[in-house]
Every structure is written in structure tokens, then in C-alpha cells.
Amino acid sequence: MKNSPAFVIGAGAILFAALAFVPFYVDGYGLALAIGIASYTILATAWALFSGPTRYISLATVAFFGVGAYTVAVLGEVLPWPLVMLVAAINGMLLALVVGLSTLRLAGIYFVIFTFGLTELIKQLVTWYEVKITRTVGRYVFLDIDQQTIYWQLLALAAILFLVGYLIGRSRLGFALRIIGGDETVARHVGIDTTHAKVALFVLSALFMTLTGAIMAPRWTYIDPAIAFNPQVSFQAVIMALLGGVQRLWGPVLGVIPMTLLFEYLNANFPNYFILILGIVFMLIVYLLPQGVAGAVSSLRAWSRRDGKSVEEAR
Amino acid sequence: MSTLLQVSGVTKRFGGLTAVREASFVVKAGEILGLLGPNGSGKTTMMNLISGNLRPDAGGIAFENTEIAGRRPHLIARDGVARTFQLVRVVGEMNARENVMAGLAFRKSPLWGSAAEDEADRLLERVGLAGRAQTPAADMTYIDQKRLELARALGLKPRLLLLDEWLAGLNQTELEGGVSLIRSLGEDGVTVIMVEHVMAAIRSLCGRCVVMNAGAIIAEGSTGDVMADPAVVSAYLGDEHA
């Protein structure tokens, strides 16, 4: 009963409906925090959707995020909003398709470096284009979209992401990805088209990252390539997902909330040491919580269950 | 008996080393064929070429009269060629049932959901792992992981099964169980190619054998004839014994 799809989806729907009322109860600062948490929840969860089962560490999160933001910067005042989102989605998915088909044959560290380099390449390409062709470095984003609406859009996107992630987890595609993560040779020899499965998930994950960038763009008013393609976003998404745990759909959000609050605190109080502390936090997570908070919770549960059992046996 | 698999003139090089050299042999439908040879003679490379894990540099491999050489392994698996690995490969963090379901979920007529679970449990029972469905594969002994690998391969409903030293490392009792399990597969109509060093098992299971040495096929024929062949004896024991 507790694990039946109807129950899980119903409970999720109620939770998201309740979260929609947040803007009515918090001030401007609270809403800004909520937007930060919502956007990183999507980025980290979408990242884990692909990287969790396959163990391909992608640092391209901000490449897709930035493509979404730039689509809005270029087309925001030209096309109606839903159409802008659609174009952003197509841009992000096409980029992911090209990247996926050309790189998912790479394994381990080569994939990590490639995705990092890709982000830099796109940033430089956009910079070159803006300087040489449009002869401006930055762009202004004047769109009549208020903070509440941004929050609700993110919330709706997050709800869709969790629904999609839940359904994939129960599907043959999700199962295939877990086998690929476990042993790719086995996956190929049981009939899984591994390239197909990996590219499909990579594109899907990129779609959500791109849309997050598109939704967030109006917050900035001014964007340039350094803002839209800031590699720190990729690193933060990875750290948050790893802290929360990537083996479960709800894992990354457990990392996003404390990290967003921590980054907020650090940025406000120790702006000069921010990167330094970020690095230390990263190392601590990898050493102390290799399975993330979600993994730690699960093993704690298993441990207490075993403990309870042995007490019973002793009786 | 009709021909299930025809290997013709297959060559595979790794840099300067020719691991398999113009190898040709046939596998007849329904037989259990032994693939023998000293260490490093190219047996596992041959298995990898048939299963699509490697692409031959020359030659052809026809399965049920369709050319499969160089096709990607997932397509060959879906066509009905399943395998186990010399160094056992299971997905450690998945339980036994899920490992077998991996073989069921992506074959040509896939099973999923409770149908797959039931079939997985049936296959686990068949290989002697009844009641172990929930055990994580990483927690199993080497022998049980080998059984699990076989159950996963059987999940693909193979017409050709490639066993790479599946009996290696078993004790006498386990060996007897393993031999009768493989024999029962043959009785079910599964064609088997087995790479094996356990001669007693080969004598009792294989009607025919193919022997490789230094990448080339040096003998093919009935098990008794092949084992008496001077070329085979010298390949294994050196010339002075032939």
C-alpha cells in the first residue's frame, strides 16, 4: 500500500500543492531562498537522474542551464513565453544529443573532463559571437515576470521532474541504466542498447537543466556569458547531489536544502573564503558520506532493523 | 543435424599479436561442443568474437544462416546468443532476482513486472539458488555468482549458450551438479559451446570438440578422436609425449 504508485504520486502531488503556498507566507528574502532551493533541487535531481545510475560524472550542468538562459535573453522579448520555453527546450536537447552521441563512449575521467571543457567551449563561443557579431558582451533581460511566478514555474518543473524520475525508476529504461552503472559489459550482453539508453537519459536530464536556466533568466535583468555559464553552478549541483545521495530520487534534495542555506550564509559572512570552504565541504562529503545522506539513512535503518532482530533472537 | 553456427576464416589481431588465426568450425543445432586448448590459445577471444564483444578483423560468423560478425553485442544477445564470463560478472549491488531479470527484460520477447519476477525465481531454482532471490549478488560466494550468471544467461532464452570455464573452481560435488545442469540444458534443446579445462566434464558432456592452439584450430571432431590426436596431445603436453 505504502509503495503503491497511486499513493506515492498522490502524496507527491499534495506536497507540491502545499509548497505552492510558500510565497504567501515569506518575505522577499525568504522567496529568494525558496527560488534558490527550487532551482538547485531541479539541477541536482536532474543531474542525479543520469549520473546516479550510470556513474558518469557530468560537469556540463551549467552548459545546458546557460543555453536556457541565453535563449530567453535572445528571444524573451520576441516570442510569447511558452514558445520561448519550447525553443529553449529544443536547444538544450539538441546540444545534449550531440554531446551524448559523441562522448558517452568515453568512460570515467575522460567524460568528466570533456563535459567541463564543453561548458568552457560554449561560453567562449557565445562570447565570440556576441563580441564579433552582435558587438555587445552582455544582454538585458526585461521581462515582466515577478519572483512569485518564477518560483511557481520552478515548482511546476520540479513536480514534473519528480514524476518523470519516479516513472523512469520503475521502468525498463531505469533498470537498464542501473545495469549499465553496475557493469556495462553485462548490460550489452543481456540485450541493452547501452548507447541508446544513456543518450536518452542524458537528453532528458539536460532538458530539465535547460528549462531551469530559462526560468531563472528573468531574475538577473543583465546576463553575459560569464554569468550564464558560471562553472560553479555545475560544481554546486554535483556537491549537493552527492551530499544528498544519488541512488534515490529524493536523495539530492536532502543535499540541496542544507547546502543552499550554507552557501547563503558563507556568501553573506565570508565572501572571500567562499570557494575555499566550498572545496573543504566537497572533500568532507566524499570522505564521510560516500553514499550521501540518503544512503546513510538507509544503512542506519538496515542497521537498526538488524539490531532489533538480534534483540528478538536473544529473547 | 542442421548447422546453428558457422565460423569461417575468422582472424583477430591485437596489435602485433594474432589471437585467432583463420579459424573455421561449425556448431550443430542441439549439440554441446567443447572448445579446448592450452592457456592463451584464443578460446576466450573466440567466445568474445561470437558474442560480439570483439569485432573480427577478417572472416565471417553465421548464426542461423545470418551474418553476425561485427554486430553489436546487444543485437547478438537479442538474436539468441547468451554467455557467461571467464571472470564472473554480476551486478553486485543488485539482488539475485534483479540480476536474472536483467536477462529477461531486454530480450526479443521481454518480460517485465511480476511475470519477470516469477520467471527469475524459477530460473534461480533451476540453477540451485532457490530462496536466494533477495540476496545481494555481491554477498554471494564465487560459485553462487557463477550460478547466478548462468540463470541470467538462461533468462535470454538462448538458442546458443557460451560457457567460458563455467565449471572451473568447483569441488567434486558441485562439479557433478554442474555437469548434470549443463546436460539438462542440452536436453532442452539449447546448443552449448563450452570452454573448459575439466576433462572429465568434457568427456561426459561433449559429443564433439574443437581444439585451438596459438590462435589456430588444430583439431575438430568427436571428443574421443580429438583427445587421441597427436597434434592435440603435443599442444597440451609438448612434442616428446606425442
User: Residue B239 has what pLDDT?
Assistant: 67
Tell me how far apart the alpha carbons of residues A38 and A260 are, in angstroms, rounded to a whole number.
10
User: Touching check for B117 and chain A: CB below 8 Å?
Assistant: no
Neighbouring residues of B139: CB distance < 8 A, sequence distance ≥ 6:
none
Evaluate if residue A307 carries a pLDDT over 60: no
Among the partner-chain residues A178, A185, A192, the one whose CB lies closest to the CB of B106 is A192
Q: What does the pLDDT look like over A54-66, one tens digit per residue?
A: 888 899 999 999 9
Q: What does the pLDDT look like over B160-215, one tens digit per residue?
A: 999 999 998 888 888 998 999 999 998 888 999 999 988 889 999 999 999 999 99
- A41 CB-contact burial (10 Å; exposed 0-12 / middle 13-18 / buried 19+): buried
Q: Indicate which of A4, A172, A190 best probes the interface with B, i.e. most B CBs within 10 Å of its own CB.
A: A190
Q: Quickly count: other Cβ atoms within 10 Å of residue A108's Cβ.
A: 10
Spell out the domains of chain B, with CATH numbers in brackets: 3-80+158-241 (3.40.50.300), 95-156 (no CATH)
Tell me how far apart the alpha carbons of residues A65 and A69 are, in angstroms, rounded to a whole number.
6
What is the reported pTM? 0.87
Cβ of B53 within 8 Å of Cβ of A185? The answer is: yes
Q: What does the pLDDT look like over B68-93, one tens digit per residue?
A: 998 999 999 999 999 999 999 999 98
User: Residue A276 has what pLDDT?
Assistant: 85
Among the partner-chain residues A172, A178, A188, the one whose CB lies closest to the CB of B74 is A188
Q: Where are the domains of chain A?
A: 5-230
User: Residue B1 has what pLDDT?
Assistant: 66
Cβ of A189 within 8 Å of Cβ of B112? The answer is: no
**Side chain identity at residue B154, one-letter code:** L
Q: What one-character DSSP code corresponds to residue A133? A: I
Tell me how far apart the alpha carbons of residues B77 and A82 are, in angstroms, rounded to a whole number.
44
**Smallest Cα–Cα separation from A187: which of B164, B47, B53, B137?**
B53
Cβ of A188 within 8 Å of Cβ of B112? The answer is: no
